[in-house]
Amino acid sequence: MCTMITRTEPVRGMAKGADGWFPVTAATVGYDHTTHSAEEHALLLDFTNYAIGLDARVALELDLDSGRALLAQLTEAIEQAERSGV
């Protein structure tokens, strides 16, 4: 069953793909059927810049436990960065 859960947000950053580094302009997060993972459903994360071509994409498929762990690590890193004052 397709969940159709997807959210896209503009972002600024860099990603490394098959052809090297490229600027990332959007991040899409979803939960749906996987393409390559062994899980039937997974968190799907895409970092893209389609303005420079269809190959400007980095994709992840994570199980829910891995997604929760990643979220916790991102939250902690952001909080530490904010406290650092840099």
Instruction: Bin 17: left if φ > 0, else alpha if -120 < ψ < 50, else beta.
Output: beta
Query: What is residue 66's DSSP assignment?
Result: H
pLDDT at residue number 75: 98
pLDDT tens digits in sequence order for the chain, 86 residues long:
788 899 999 999 999 998 899 999 999 999 999 989 888 999 999 999 999 998 999 999 999 999 999 999 999 999 999 999 88
pTM of this prediction?
0.87
